[in-house]
Amino acid sequence: MSAPRPRRRFSQNFLVDRNYMERIVDAIAPEPEDHVLEIGPGRGALTHLLASRTGNLVVVEIDRDLARGIELEFADVRVIVADVMKIDVEVILDSRHLWRVVGNLPYHISTPVLFALLRVSERIRDMHFCLQEELVARICASPGGKAWGRLSVMMQYHAEVVPLFRIPSTAFRPRPRVQSRILRVLPRKLEKPAKSLEVLEDVVRRAFSHRRKTLQNALKSHPRFDSAAVASELGIDPGARPETFGVDDFVAISNLLAADH
């Protein structure tokens, strides 16, 4: 039986270069006792290598034909036929284990999937994803640059992010129009976390909704924002632009606004 063709509606680009498959799995370095979740296994290129190195592999695949092929080929792999955007990952990631997550994510679902997983980061040891290179650059950006923004701040609040090697478009079928890169995500707990994640997310969203505005102009509509208090209590210049502030600065600002939250 011939392999199922890529479906445009699922944004499928299958990794076909064996060299890069092996480099990805070597970067993950799964051990036999590890519990691994693979998102979007496609035709099972990485699944084959992962299954050969760990006995606890779960895959989530939206395409029923592809999922059926994996079920037939890998008897010991648990296959969940579902849209990862519509399932409760907390149910999959059994709290009795610390999970390792891997996947080749289409651009349009990359960010929501990452944040959904970070909400249950206490159950995750690490994540390795193949993403569009431009997205990896934004996630791993530093304050002061054009790429630094809401995504950078929130991802780096939740985790250490490490860009690994590039994967050229020629390694995929069909060939995408963009270059890809492997991103390693290591969930962490900050020594001084935000008092309220909801307030932090709101502050960061407001700050970067109009990038050319100063912090005080971007947050002036917030009912608790006081530029004088930000300057005197935090030593932060409210007249500076948001892209100059780091993660710790945004946490400090949100904690000031969340004092009575």
Q: For 14-36, how does the pLDDT look when each residue is reduced to its tens digit (9 = 90+)?
A: 888 999 999 999 999 999 999 99
Q: Which two tokens stand for residue 239?
A: 């007249």
Q: What is the CATH number of domain 8-187?
A: 3.40.50.150
How much is the pLDDT for 162? 97
Do 8-187 and 197-257 agree at the fold level?
no
E strand spans, 18-135: 35-39, 56-61, 78-81, 99-104, 124-132
pLDDT at 160 over 50: yes
Q: What's the longest Cα–Cα distance across the chain?
A: 70
Span 90-135, pLDDT tens digits: 888 988 899 999 998 888 889 999 999 998 999 999 999 999 999 9
Q: Catalogue the E-assigned strands of the chain.
A: 14-15, 35-39, 56-61, 78-81, 99-104, 124-132, 159-167, 172-173, 180-187
Q: Is the pLDDT of residue 11 over 80?
A: no
Closest CA to 37 of 89, 102, 81: 102
Confidence of residue 10 (pLDDT cuts 50, 70, 90): very low
SS3 label, residue 14: strand
Do the Cβ atoms of 102 and 24 come closer than 8 Å? yes
Could you report the per-residue pLDDT of 74-85, keeping only the tens digit for each?
989 999 999 988
Rounded distance between C-alpha atoms, residue 51 and residue 37, angstroms:
11
Distance between CA atoms of residues 76 and 26, nearest Å? 21
pLDDT at 221: 84
CATH code that applies to domain 197-257: 1.10.8.100
How do the domains of the chain map onto residue ranges?
8-187, 197-257
The residue ranges of DSSP E strands in 40-85, in sequence order, are: 56-61, 78-81
pTM for the full model? 0.89
